[in-house]
Amino acid sequence: MNEPLYDTISYWVPTMETCANCEEELPSRRYHVHLSTDDAVELPLCEGCRYKFVTAEWVDTVV
């Protein structure tokens, strides 16, 4: 009757992917980067580069 809770919870596990910005093979995640030009791109970014994009003047949002 008491099913383990961990079977029903989904965890994000970082995957090794080449970051589109620094081109390093690091744990990366795909983000939608909304540019100040009203364009949007989907990019794999490592955590360090994601922070750089979030703080860049030419980026509106990163989700």
**Could you please report the per-residue DSSP string of 12-52?**
---EEEE-TTT--EEEEEEEEEEETTS-EEEEEEEHHHHHH
Q: Which residues pair with 45 in a beta bridge?
A: 29
pLDDT for res 24: 92
pLDDT tens over the chain, length 63 residues = 565 555 555 566 667 899 999 999 988 889 999 999 999 999 999 999 999 999 999 999 999
pLDDT for res 1: 54
Q: Cα 29 vs. chain centroid, distance in angstroms?
A: 4
Q: What is the mean pLDDT of the chain?
A: 85
pLDDT for res 27: 86
Tokens of 48: 């360090």
